[in-house]
Structure 1
């Protein structure tokens, strides 16, 4: 439907479409501009009061003989703000209003004047909690997409950097930005992502970025290795853009989605590049070795405990000497669940209590559980190493993928001894080797810097 020249008809239609009387935050403000009846519609909380005060002060000074013939001429002559536009269709007017812009209807104009003077509530661009760097920038993405794109634009002053805004969902109308370097990006992947996002118009991003990831790629449930890399660091996103990757950012999400992503991209972090080459290589190798140990340490321990004759004399000290009241497999399984329980409890624990409660949990889980006979000290040691080592790589999804592989290895080893361990190793390797990125490339492909 088109915007009418009669302002009362526009007001009536806007009140019919929107719950102006019921919703306190949708504000209707009737004013007179140049002797003509006019009306503002805006969302309380998104509006900058000082900007609107200056604009209205300008409007009240306009005389009847100064009023131009069209809304476009009016916006050019009297709206002293940078981001303005005019729309003659109500669909676009409603979209901009609900996004936070102010809508101005003036008697005699067949178009609505959109004044984008909105401001979103946002926190400071501080360093992310989960992806910290020993050296380098201390800023991070926030929930406001405009701030996030500005953090990237600040680092890449290249005309090839493109920020393509798209919208998903009939109800949520979530803003999504495709960020890429037009001279380096894989054009086939870009076309594929653009087509998939355009086909999502009926889908609402109920769970924000995770919903977008599920819609973009219907991954197989039995392969837990992640298809996307997430980061809250602008410098990491910038480095990936300069490598030819695509960065997807969703409004209200403080992280960026990077694709395509291989297993080697998953285990990288910013510290690898903020130190000299030798130090960076050492950090990568040590983290990779520790990551591999988190998968195989406890299954290997279980395998050798089931076959003590395989242990060389020099390593006989690793044998469990104490009485085993509960089978080792069930001890390891219980501790895997207990560690996840402590992690989930820490998320919901008030910050002032997290330290004392973690100390109490450590004492109870450590000393008392061994003395009570539930667990052996060797099992506690190896599981403690696995629990701490999981935090050497920042990717949360990869950490749980490795955990599932470890549980599979433990179960197969407990059931079928060395045959089960060998089968578990083959399944783990195949899960990585036969996995594919969103672009269809190998999961083992090394990025070219």
Structure 2
């Protein structure tokens, strides 16, 4: 037995003598590892500020990985014989402001800081507009991860939080999806504070409330609930608060869209039940109507609640023209939306049943046969249009125009010349696609595309009954759909004559004396009586 022990490595032989399992390594090392893990866990769960910089530094190293993450900075300095520790993230801090604060504090003497060191720092020697004290380590970490900087002072059980953050942000430009010929050119960006400020600039009302909450255990994404206190229905505001409070996710890194799904709990219905906008003027107008707004940090889009189908078919351009021109533009848009839904199914029905053609429209229908059935042509072109759209998104800007020409001219023209497609199919498909792009809401246009495919399939399978039944079913789905307990098809269902008139005809501003009743505003008067 002695020989066996001597033939093995010293540590392994020692383990076997002590009754340890050599396959599991040294029992002593294992005990040390377990003890260290418990110590690390204790530091990680510590929520108090000890006042001893060495201990607080170890706590921060365990909580945020100060020794692992290169952008986590722990800077030790001495001000007036007081040992201090700065804790901040390198990418969030304003270097010039932070340098100025450190420079000013480096001139201090001990008698200028004692007693009440924190009070002297805050009231006299930290030249910044937003400074506060925090007595909980977890709060310190949360605020620093948001971009603030923390200052720990030896023998002090509170930390000073200095809001010197700056976020990477692009310039304020006009949104691509909501352009207007005349009007403001500013649009939301990915920074929450900037977006809130753009709305504050338009509504200088002290009753405009902006409540901040955090969503996500890990991302802790800032979400802001916006409403005007004496206009919005406070029951709706409370319902939104409750919904947000019940969201329990790791995070919402994709911002507004993930928040919408968690908030609304949508099923497979393709129609949107919230409205998105990237224009501050549109959001301000909805706030004045009594809607509730949700800003999500890192997203340039704002969620508007509640939303109806008719909210999604209106555009800011209609209110940048005279009432007559605005009405004309609105009806042209309505016509485009109708065409995107029903033009292809109705034309296809006329092709299948020529006897249904109204007098004077006998020319409708293909003049020659193609090698591919018409219904297959529709689906192939739909897929082709989506491929072109996706290719345009992923193609570098200088090449996007060339790619579109190749797709439209070469592929489409050759397909017709080869006898695979009919000219009229491409013509009507192009008209329907234009109507889809004329739809103000991108989400609504994509939902209408899915519905169009369903209607085409129903016509191909069941002819006239298929079109009637499928259209009725889709209409009933929309009629029973609700957005935060609001009828989706209001003011058509339930019918409200005055509200429906304002949908059909763009009203002059002075004639719009009442707010829409759909939001249940506390104050429904827009103008003095």
Q: Common fold, TM-score beyond 0.5?
A: yes
Helix, strand or coil at the partner of 2:384: helix
Pairwise CA distance, 1:77: 2.1
Match of 1:436 in 2: 482
Q: Residue 270 of structure 1: which of 310, 316, 319 is its match?
A: 316
Structure 2 residue 392 is the aligned partner of structure 1 residue 342: no
Note if 1:183 corresponds to 2:224. Answer: no
Partner of 2:27: none
Task: Name 1:215's counterpart in structure 2.
Answer: 262
Quick one: which of 163, 166, 172 aligns to 1:119?
166
- 1:150-182 CA distance string (max 9 Å, x none): 000001000111111111111101000111111
**Which residue in the other structure is 1:319 paired with?**
365
Alignment of 1:145-160 (within 5 A): 145-160=192-207
- In the alignment, structure 1 residue 288 sits paired with structure 2 residue 339: no
Distance in 2 separating the partners of 1:247 and 1:397:
18
The count of residues paired between Structure 1 and Structure 2 equals 448
Q: Identify which of 57, 63, 72 aligns with 1:26.
A: 72
- The equivalent of 1:58 in structure 2 is 104
Q: Residue 104 of structure 1 aligns to a residue in which SS?
A: strand
What are the equivalent positions in structure 2 for 1:196-211 lying under 5 Å apart? 196-211=243-258
Contact 1:165 / 1:177 at 8 angstroms: preserved in 2? yes
SS at match of 1:318: coil
Q: Is the 8 A contact 1:185 1:245 kept in 2?
A: yes
Where do residues 29-428 of structure 1 align in structure 2 (5 Å cutoff)? 29-67=75-113, 68-221=115-268, 223-428=269-474
**Structure 1 residues 201 and 418: alpha-carbon distance in aligned structure 2, compared to 1, 3 A threshold:** closer
- 5+ residue gaps, structure 1, are none
1:235-268 per-position Cα deviation (integer Å, ceiling 9, x unaligned): 1111111111011011100111111000110011
Q: CA deviation at 1:73?
A: 4.5
**Cα distance in 2, alignment partners of residues 128 and 93 from structure 1:** 36
Larger Cα Rg: Structure 1 or Structure 2?
2
- 1:141 is paired with a residue of what secondary structure? coil
Shift of 1:441: 3.4
Shift of 1:364: 2.1
Contact 1:179 1:248 in 2 (8 A): yes
Runs of 4 or more, structure 1, over 4 Å off, are none
8 Å Cα contact 1:232/1:256 also seen in 2: yes
When normalised by structure 1's length, the TM-score is: 0.97
User: Would you say the 8 A contact 2:88–2:147 is kept in 1?
Assistant: yes
* Distance (whole Å) between structure 2 residues aligned to residue 441 and residue 420 of structure 1: 27
Q: What's the offset of the Cα at 1:197?
A: 1.0
The more displaced of 311-320 and 428-437 is: 311-320
Q: TM-score, normalised by structure 2?
A: 0.83
After superposition, the Cα gap between the structure-2 partners of 1:187 and 1:443, relative to the gap in structure 1 and judged at 3 Å, is farther
In 1: Cα distance, 2:425 partner to 2:91 partner? 55
Give the root-mean-square deviation of aligned CA atoms.
1.4
1:203 Cα deviation from its structure 2 partner: 4.1
